[in-house]
């Protein structure tokens, strides 16, 4: 099982596992090594087998990298950044939801079970961005990553990877994976908005951290 597949399983099982744990139950561990990809292919959540260099896995890999990098950034934050840490963890959960949608054929039965991106999701990120921006003096001009300290540099790295995610998702949305299904179209539009806002959030968060 690849890292993005593990993230996908976690995203899809989150609600049911939470309920199960509250009731005292235990969820079964997913296998890690399946050997299914030894011949250069991998499967989507909805069952389709595709080459590992397919655009699906390109965007999934980029999103997985961004989530992992975001987790690394969280480990670098001092206690004074507890609110930012909380925001970044929520962003990781949303990235896993996006991965789940990218790994699922909208014509499959699994699609209706997905936690899709909503307008509330985009609104939340915009509000979180404004909250940080209101506490930050952002000087005009370019910023050289590293000039404002290690945490700011990591967040600038996150900004760059978020931009790559946005580009690869745009390619994914314009590829053969595209669907005319209304829910897919709505999710795609809102995901584009979220990823676009996310790089802005990372930029502002970097300036916020660098000024502390």
Nearest to 92 by CA among 110, 112, 65: 65
Buried b (16+ CB within 10 A) or exposed e, 7-33: bbbebbeeeeeeeeeeeeeeeeeeeee
User: Model confidence over 2-22: pLDDT tens digits?
Assistant: 544 554 554 554 433 433 443
What percent of the chain stands above pLDDT 90? 67
Band (27; pLDDT cuts 50, 70, 90): low
**pTM for this predicted structure:** 0.85
Instruction: Tell whether the model's pLDDT for residue 181 goes beyond 50.
Output: yes
For 48, 66, 142, 159, the CA distances from 73, given in Å and listed in that order, are 34, 10, 22, 12
Q: Which two tokens stand for residue 160?
A: 């760059």
Smallest CA-to-CA distance from 171 within 195, 155, 137 is with 195
Tell me the per-residue pLDDT of 115-172, one tens digit each, with 9 for 90 and over: 999 999 999 999 999 999 999 988 888 889 999 999 999 999 999 999 999 999 999 9
pLDDT at position 33: 80
pLDDT tens for each residue of 92-112: 999 999 999 999 999 999 999
What percentage of the chain carries pLDDT values higher than 70? Answer: 86
Q: How confident is the model at residue 29 (pLDDT cuts 50, 70, 90)?
A: low
Q: How far apart are CA 203 and CA 136, in angstroms?
A: 11
Distance (Å, rounded) from C-alpha 57 to C-alpha 44? 9
pLDDT at 23 over 60: no
Length of the chain: 212
């Amino acid at each position: 099982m690849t890292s993005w597949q593990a993230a996908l399983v976690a995203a899809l099982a989150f609600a049911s596992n939470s309920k199960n744990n509250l009731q005292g139950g235990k969820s079964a561990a997913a296998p890690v090594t399946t050997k299914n990809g030894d011949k250069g292919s991998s499967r989507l959540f909805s069952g389709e087998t595709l080459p590992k260099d397919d655009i699906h896995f390109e965007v999934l890999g980029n999103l997985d990298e961004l989530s992992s990098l975001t987790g690394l950034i969280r480990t670098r934050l001092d206690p004074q950044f507890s609110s930012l840490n909380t925001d970044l963890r929520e962003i990781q959960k949303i990235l896993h939801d996006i991965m789940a949608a990218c790994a699922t054929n909208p014509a499959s039965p699994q699609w209706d079970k997905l936690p899709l991106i909503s307008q509330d999701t985009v609104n939340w990120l915009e509000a979180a961005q404004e909250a940080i921006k209101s506490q930050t003096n952002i000087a005009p001009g370019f910023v050289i990553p590293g000039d404002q300290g290690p945490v700011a540099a990591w967040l600038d790295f996150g900004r760059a990877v978020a931009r790559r995610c946005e580009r690869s998702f745009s390619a994914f949305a314009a590829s053969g994976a595209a669907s005319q299904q209304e829910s897919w179209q709505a999710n795609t539009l809102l995901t584009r908005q979220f990823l676009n806002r996310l790089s802005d959030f990372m930029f502002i968060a970097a300036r916020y951290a660098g000024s502390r």
